[in-house]
């Protein structure tokens, strides 16, 4: 199937609870310095749509936690979003709905990976990431224009992996691993800010993340990852040689 045909076949969703009025309310809320007025804006214009958005993300993509009741999971996600709302920059011309949806989706997935149940949910790459990333609703680029060398390096690795998937001759496992790796690279800040342990645990977290998204065994992942390690090594060597890293 051609790329154009795929785009025609994508499902587009609309919501009846977060429109232009709510987008304007977000801007007013973020720019208001009066705490009483901010609370009034939130309660009258944002509480319901944000509650509905989080509920829709959890239910539609089955991001449940077996160790947490739905109400607690919802409240926990809303609390996390409340801490991140101030990072939204309306002047970029993006939608607050997409930004907030991305924040909640990444947080819920990260918490699934940290749960003691070891991700024994009905979560799969096809059900979550493939569906979500093809929808306009929950897509948002969290990039900013003032990147550190490390952030730029991560972004370039992700771009190179995407190019390899699009133009290289890859096996099915390599494609699955590559797509999962892209999700890790594109959302690394959200993933790792939830991790309290050291680097060893971080490596385990990445492996668990890729294993869950790809549905592959650890052995298959390590074999398929060899192609992407070459991309990493080549780009790292170039950056070091040029004094950019």
Q: CA-CA distance, 145 to 100, in Å (whole number)?
A: 19
Q: If we measure between CA atoms, which residue out of 184, 171, 183, 187 comes closest to residue 224? A: 171
Q: If we measure between CA atoms, which residue out of 243, 241, 230 comes closest to residue 160? A: 230
Task: Note the helical H segments in the chain.
Answer: 3-9, 20-31, 35-41, 47-60, 70-84, 96-114, 131-133, 149-167, 172-186, 188-192, 199-214, 218-241
Note whether 134 and 10 are within 8 A (CB). Answer: yes
What is the predicted pLDDT for the residue at 112? 76
pLDDT tens for the chain, residues 1 to 245:
444 444 444 444 456 789 999 999 999 999 999 999 999 999 999 999 999 999 998 988 788 887 889 999 999 999 999 999 998 988 888 899 989 998 898 888 777 766 644 444 444 544 555 544 544 555 555 554 456 777 787 888 888 888 888 887 889 889 888 888 887 787 776 666 555 544 444 666 777 778 877 788 888 998 988 888 888 888 877 767 666 65
Q: If we measure between CA atoms, which residue out of 103, 26, 108 comes closest to residue 60? A: 108
Q: CA-CA distance, 129 to 139, in Å (whole number)?
A: 11
Half-sphere exposure of 239 (CA within 13 A, CB side): 16
Please list, residue by residue across 74-97, b when 16 or more beta carbons sit within 10 angstroms of its beta carbon and e when fewer do.
Answer: bebbbebbeebbeebebeeeebbb
Which of left, alpha, beta for 243 (phi over 0: left; psi -120 to 50: alpha)?
A: left
- How far, CA to CA in Å, does 170 sit from each of 10, 158, 179, 226? 24, 16, 12, 12
């Amino acid at each position: 199937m051609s790329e154009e045909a795929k785009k025609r076949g994508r499902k587009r969703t609309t919501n009846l609870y977060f429109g232009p009025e709510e987008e304007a309310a977000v801007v007013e809320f973020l720019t208001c310095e009066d705490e009483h007025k901010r609370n009034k804006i939130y309660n009258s214009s944002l509480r319901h749509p944000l509650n509905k958005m989080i509920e829709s993300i959890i239910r539609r993509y089955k991001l449940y936690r077996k160790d947490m009741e739905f109400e607690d999971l919802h409240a926990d996600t809303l609390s996390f979003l409340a801490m991140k709302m101030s990072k939204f920059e309306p002047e970029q011309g993006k939608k607050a709905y997409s930004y907030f949806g991305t924040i909640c989706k990444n947080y819920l997935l990260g918490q699934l990976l940290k749960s003691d149940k070891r991700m024994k949910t009905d979560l799969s790459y096809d059900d979550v990431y493939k569906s979500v990333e093809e929808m306009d609703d929950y897509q948002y680029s969290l990039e900013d224009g003032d990147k550190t060398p490390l952030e730029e390096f991560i972004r370039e690795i992700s771009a190179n992996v995407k190019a390899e998937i699009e133009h290289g001759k890859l096996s099915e496992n390599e494609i699955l691993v590559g797509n999962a790796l892209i999700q890790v690279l594109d959302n690394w800040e959200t993933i790792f800010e939830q991790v309290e342990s050291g680097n060893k645990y971080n490596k385990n977290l990445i492996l668990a993340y890729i294993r869950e998204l790809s549905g592959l065994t650890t052995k298959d992942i390590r074999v398929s990852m060899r192609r992407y390690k070459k991309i990493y090594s080549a780009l790292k060597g170039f950056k070091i040689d040029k004094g950019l890293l």
